[in-house]
Amino acid sequence: MKTNDVLLRNVTKVVAFIIFLFSLHLFFAGHYNPGGGFVAGLTSAGAITLTLLAYDIKTVQSMLNINTIFITGVGLLFAVGTGLLGVFLGKPFLTHVFGYVNLPILGKTSLHTATLFDLGVYLVVVGVTLTIIQSIGESD
């Protein structure tokens, strides 16, 4: 019997973007509000999992041509790199720096290198989750 998933695919096209925007909100809210890299990574992986459910592995790989293990490695590099930044400044390992910068549109903004560490956590969580899901889904 041939099936036609037109409802699921059209809902996925809208909902996956909403989930991804929600994960971006969780990522950037992590310093002052509940959220952070871990939950944001899991939510982004949930958005990609929803497209995996509506389509198939080959279509999703042609949509976003990313190597998930490579993403995990880049995330670990971000985490270690922001740790080593403190060493190069003569401080202990994982010492973070922050400052107030006047950005063109946003005005006076507090920028913190802990965000880069959180970006590493985000990339590692996304990469590991997608690697687990794809490698289990590919094995018959």
Partner 1 sequence: MIIKIALSIGLLLYSISTFLYLYRILKGPTTSDKVIALDSIGMNLVAIVAMLSMFYKTNAYLDVILLIALLAFIGTVSFSKFIEKGKVIDRERDN
Q: Using CB under 8 A as the criterion, which residues of the chain lie in contact with partner 1 when the complex forms?
A: 2-5, 8, 15, 19, 22, 26, 29, 33-35, 39, 43, 46, 49-50, 52-59, 133, 137-138, 140
Q: Nearest distance from residue 122's CB to partner 1, in Å? A: 16
Residue 1 or residue 106: which is nearer to partner 1 going by CB? 1
Do residues 13 and 59 lie in contact, with contact meaning Cβ atoms separated by under 8 Å? no
**Could you tell me the CA-to-CA distances from 45 to 9, 19, 113 in Å, in that order?**
18, 10, 24
**Could you tell me the CA-to-CA distances from 50 to 10, 83, 86 in Å, in that order?**
12, 34, 39
Residue 5 or residue 89: which is nearer to partner 1 going by CB? 5
Nearest to 70 by CA among 138, 133, 134, 126: 126
Q: Nearest distance from residue 33's CB to partner 1, in Å? A: 7
Residue 35 or residue 127: which is nearer to partner 1 going by CB? 35
Residue 58 or residue 108: which is nearer to partner 1 going by CB? 58
Q: How far apart are CA 36 and CA 120, in angstroms?
A: 11
Q: Nearest distance from residue 121's CB to partner 1, in Å? A: 17
